[in-house]
Amino acid sequence: MAGPLLETKFHIPRRRRGLVARPRLSERLDLGEESALTLVSAPAGFGKSTLLTDWLTGWQAAAPAGERSVAWLSLDQRDNDPALFWTYVATALDSAVAGVGAGALTLLQASQPPAETVVATLLHDLGAVPTDVLLVLDDFHVIESRDVREGVTFLLDHLPPRTRLVLAGRADPALPLARLRGRGELVEIRAADLRFTPDEAAAYLNEVMGLELTARDVAALEERTEGWIAALQLAALSMQGRDDAAGFIAGFAGDDRYVVDYLAEEVLQRQPERVRSFLLQTSFLNRLTGSLCDAVTGQDDGRAMLEALDRGNLFLVPLDDRRRWYRYHHLFADVLQARLLDEQPDEVRDLHRRASAWYEQDGERAEAIHHALAAEDFERAADLVELALPALRKGRQEATLRRWLEALPDELFHVRPVLTVGHVSSLMVSGEIEGVEERLRQAERWLHPTTDRADEMVVVDEEGFRTLPTAIAMYRAGTALVRGDVAGTMTHARRALDLAGEDDHLARGAPAALLGLAYWTSGDLGASSRLYADAMSSLERAGHHSDVLGCAIALADMRLAQGRLRDAMGLFERGLQRAEQSRPVLRGAADMHVGLSQLLWERDDLDAARRHLQASSELGEHLGLPQNRYRWRVAMARVREADGDVDGALDLLDEAERLYVGDYSPDVRPVAAVRARAWLRQGRWGEALRWARERGLSSDDELSYLREFEHVTLARALVARYAAERSERSIEEATGLLERLIRAAEDGARTGSRIDVLVVQARAAQARGDVPAALSSLRRALSLAEPEGYVRTFVDEGQPMASLLRALAKDGNGGGYVRRLLAAFDGTEVSRPVSERLVDPLSARELDVLRLLGTDLDGPDIARELVVSLNTVRTHTKNIYAKLGVSSRRAAVRRAEELGLMSRPRARQPLR
């Protein structure tokens, strides 16, 4: 973070002169060593910040140098922007412990990640620190953002053992305090604790303020103020130089607010006019320094005045050790501002305007905008916001940008095309497209203005205006893609490419990618992959290396649909090499590891797949794109299922679905469909069909590439239902759907999809008992899969696929590839004992009953055969149905055949 003003946000306020020792409170704060959160909560004027400043000095001094670090952050209303809040938190931590927070800052600068991702990155860094770290968030009561509060809650729930959080504010924060209190992880200091005791009041009034009051006067004053520190300080300032202290103490009474107003007025009235004028004219400034005060007041004694006020303990809080930056005590500032509005209402806007000019000259554009808006100098504010647009986009501070833009009158946008398109960009980041086209047309009118209105246009960012036509076309392409208008996306993206200069690589990269996404959505993977390769090349030349990695993920997904596993592997390997060779490591490196793990899983190299997933996890979420959180869980779910941990795999898929973050890429493999396939591998076809109904899928749907994976999943579910219940309608629907799907995949040159469909066709024919047809489909799938090294696509089909592969090998048509696939079944469910294949294995007696269920015997005959009662047979049958996940005798027999628990049923005469 640049700029001396921002540095004051992270600087522990200077310890005040003549503080009263308060060991009882220091001891309470020391108890926080074993607690995650220390909360100092009290109204204004109770000395919260002063107490913490004093305690921290002793806390750090009590340990060897470097063993205890403090990160301090002073908050204000603008910190409700989540990106800004976490940027400041990361900066504060990095200032306290070098390297902690650096990853989070990289993440925040490259995208707009979820708060949990940023916090997880900070926690990863903090967990590696071998010393004590204290993070202090002062004035936390100003935080109203739910997103920020949820992020802080996540931080609290996962703090490493040697990290503590301290919150100071005027009210209890909306955090799970009761839960923390119940677990003994909360230390609380409240107003009742902070009030001065009679002894502390006496020490302050007489020793610090030099009043020489009698014990009776001190007791009366302490009773009137109830130990409220701000009131005591104001009273002490008011009594300095008075002879009748007792009479003064008897002269005021009332509630807290009245006391402060009364005493503050007393203090103001006792100041020389020059000091009083200075206090009023600078009261609206959040932070004060000499040159800023000079600019606002029009005088040249700002620094000297601040130092004099500091020496006089006149409610001025020093913010750094260089005696450069200060702030007024909040209560005192409130009184001063009220008096300023009462006495000089017409001067307030001009004072803000002067402050804005100073901040602009000092390079603090955010503060300059804040004061321009407060001055209602909207023209100036609009100029400053327009100039700030590139930096705000780069810093992903969309919430701040939205707040500023929404504070400007609508009529300003009518003549400011660059600012208008900036507003469009802030809307589209959050997926809002309503009103976007109207704003784009509003900006577009100024590209060719009529001669009588040309001089009305206002542009302060000339480069932004030069690239406006390209930006307008690009945003139109983006809105069309969000609406599902593929043709519109193509039209506008092509126009953006035509308008962008040949050497304007950044301007060419984005529309090329959007055009590629449109072709991908329509299923034309040849065109989409060529365009995405062009986009990657343009972004590489523009120096946007992290964006190149993002494009590599999308292009690899296209290669997978094309069945080109080797090409996808190359993309991920080159991306990982590029990411790891950069300093710092590029964001997206974690995604490269996840992509490699998916390909290694397909090749059945599960150990290597696990290593890459572990490497991705160790890099931390700050080195992954937002989508990596759910992609990682989908990839790990596949590995877990291959290991036999079915429940663990489903839990990961549920979590992946919750964490899913969409972008402009088509969601061609929805997590819910991946989970439905996992259900099918467990024989839970009923749940898979219920999912299909909820998705509105049917075998008669018009096919599209966007739903191809889902339709193949539906076909799998229909085949599974036929295998369990012999439903002719199900197999007919599945067969017809699969025939249409294979034609669509062939027309789109989607070899990966063709392999998927052919495998299901083989299973469908096998279920019907048509082994020749099953082997024919399987041979076609194998011929496409062998060059790329597919393995899990076949192994995950289980025993039925193993049977077909053995049939090919027996006929001598399998070759080495079939033998490799059969070898891959070793160690899988198919090669394990039958009793280990079920979550709840069948007992020996249940296996006896199951075998007889496959005969012509009825219940009483089975009871006689096994020499048990009919009720016992019924109990065993009920247990068998539950363990196999079926609801009928026929379904139980079919499931048992699939698991290899019994051979084909044969006729058997009842025992007489």
Of the spans 72-81, 613-622, 827-836, which averages the highest pLDDT? 72-81
The tokens describing 790, both together, are 């597919």
Would you place residue 836 in the very low, low, confident or very high pLDDT band (cuts 50, 70, 90)?
A: very low
| Residues 6 or more apart in contact with residue 653 via CB below 8 angstroms | 633, 634, 637, 671, 674, 675, 678
Residue 2 pLDDT > 70: no
Over residues 435-454, the mean pLDDT reads: 80
Q: Can you give the pLDDT at residue 906?
A: 44
Question: pLDDT tens, 338-393?
Answer: 889 988 898 999 999 999 999 999 989 999 999 999 999 999 999 999 999 887 77
Helices (H), 4-81: 4-7, 23-30, 48-61
The tokens describing 902, both together, are 């019994």
Q: Which of 125-129, 229-233, 584-588, 776-780 has the lowest mean pLDDT?
A: 584-588
Residue 805 pLDDT > 70: yes
Amino acid (one-letter) located at 100: V
Would you place residue 833 in the very low, low, confident or very high pLDDT band (cuts 50, 70, 90)?
A: very low
Question: pLDDT tens, 721-769?
Answer: 998 888 899 999 999 999 999 999 999 899 999 999 999 999 999 999 8
Would you place residue 832 in the very low, low, confident or very high pLDDT band (cuts 50, 70, 90)?
A: very low
Q: Which of 328-342, 416-430, 476-490 has the lowest mean pLDDT?
A: 328-342
Which of 320, 315, 317, 308 is CA-nearest to residue 331?
Answer: 315
Q: Can you give the pLDDT at residue 354?
A: 96
Residue 909 pLDDT > 90: no
Residue 866: CA count within 13 A, CB half-sphere: 24
Which of 394, 448, 439, 397 is CA-nearest to residue 418?
Answer: 439
Amino acid (one-letter) located at 909: Q
Amino acid (one-letter) located at 464: G
Q: How many CB atoms lie within 10 A of CB 208?
A: 16
Question: pLDDT tens, 179-196?
Answer: 888 888 899 998 778 888
Under 8 Å between Cβ of 265 and 279: no
Under 8 Å between Cβ of 401 and 382: no
Q: Helices H, strands E: what count in the chain?
A: 49, 7
Residue 830 pLDDT > 50: no
Q: Cα separation of 52 and 70, whole Å?
A: 11
pTM of the model: 0.63
Q: Cα separation of 8 and 26, whole Å?
A: 25
Q: Can you give the pLDDT at residue 426?
A: 83
Q: Cα separation of 101 and 87, whole Å?
A: 9
Q: Cα separation of 573 and 549, whole Å?
A: 11
Which of 95, 105, 104 is CA-nearest to residue 69?
Answer: 95
Under 8 Å between Cβ of 538 and 508: yes
Q: Cα separation of 852 and 910, whole Å?
A: 10
Residue 224 pLDDT > 90: no
Q: Percent of the chain beyond pLDDT 70? A: 88
Considering the chain, what is the average pLDDT of its residues?
A: 84
Over residues 511-529, the mean pLDDT reads: 90
Would you place residue 262 in the very low, low, confident or very high pLDDT band (cuts 50, 70, 90)?
A: low
Q: How many CB atoms lie within 10 A of CB 540?
A: 16
| Residues 6 or more apart in contact with residue 464 via CB below 8 angstroms | 386, 389, 390, 418, 421, 422
C-alpha R_g of the chain: 36
Would you place residue 626 in the very low, low, confident or very high pLDDT band (cuts 50, 70, 90)?
A: low
The 3-state DSSP class for residue 136 equals strand
The 3-state DSSP class for residue 582 equals coil
Q: Cα separation of 40 and 138, whole Å?
A: 9
Residues present in the chain in total: 912
Whether a cis peptide bond, with omega within 30° of 0, leads into 409 is no
Under 8 Å between Cβ of 314 and 276: no
Would you place residue 116 in the very low, low, confident or very high pLDDT band (cuts 50, 70, 90)?
A: confident
Over residues 442-462, the mean pLDDT reads: 80
Q: Can you give the pLDDT at residue 890?
A: 79
Question: pLDDT tens, 765-788?
Answer: 999 989 999 999 999 999 999 999
Under 8 Å between Cβ of 637 and 656: yes
Question: pLDDT tens, 640-680?
Answer: 998 888 888 999 999 989 888 777 788 889 999 999 999 99
Question: pLDDT tens, 864-900?
Answer: 888 788 888 888 888 888 777 677 787 788 777 766 6
Q: Cα separation of 839 and 723, whole Å?
A: 21
Long-range contacts of 512-515 (CB under 8 A, 24+ apart): 512/538, 513/551, 513/554, 514/474, 514/477, 514/478, 514/481, 514/489, 514/664, 515/477, 515/489, 515/490
- Higher-confidence residue: 32 or 376? 376
Is residue 376 packed enough to be buried (19+ CB in 10 Å), middle (13-18) or exposed (0-12)? middle
Q: At what angle do helices 671-681 and 685-694 cross, to 10 degrees?
A: 160
Residue 828 pLDDT > 60: no
